[in-house]
């Protein structure tokens, strides 16, 4: 159980604060959409007012962004580096340099 909690903590620390704020706002909006009939109706009215080509364009743009976007945070890189460094079979710098196949 401790390992599961550590993995969850590492995942949370690998994401930036802005990511957590946006996720919280998204969850609040999603909850409001489901629980508040007036908000649900407002969103549906706006959605139905959009021309179909704009709906398709927005959906495609969101899908492409989600497909190609990769997020990196300094905290996540540091957490990953510490995890690798702490492992018993972590490579040394010399081993990493010897395994580097890029032209020097």
pLDDT at residue number 103? 57
pLDDT at position 66: 81
| Residues of the chain with confidence (pLDDT) below 70 | 70-73, 103-104
pLDDT score, position 29: 92
Q: What is the pLDDT of residue 97?
A: 79
Domain boundaries, the chain: 2-99
Amino acid 83: pLDDT = 80
Q: What is the DSSP string of the chain?
A: -HHHHHHHHHHHHHS-HHHHHHHHHHHHHHHHHHH-HHHHHHHHHHHHHS-HHHHHHHHHHHHHHHHH-----HHHHHHHHHHHHHSTTPPPHHHHHHH--S--
The pLDDT score that the predictor gives to residue 8 is 80
């Amino acid at each position: 159980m401790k390992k599961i909690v550590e993995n969850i903590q590492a995942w949370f620390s690998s994401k930036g604060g802005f990511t957590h704020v946006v996720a919280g706002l998204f969850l609040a909006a999603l909850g409001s959409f489901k629980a508040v009939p007036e908000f649900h109706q407002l969103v549906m009215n706006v959605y139905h007012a959009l021309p179909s080509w704009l709906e398709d364009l927005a959906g495609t743009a969101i899908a492409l962004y989600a497909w190609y976007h990769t997020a990196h945070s300094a905290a996540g890189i540091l957490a990953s580096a510490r995890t690798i460094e702490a492992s018993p079979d972590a490579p040394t710098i010399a081993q990493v340099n010897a395994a580097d196949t890029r032209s020097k």
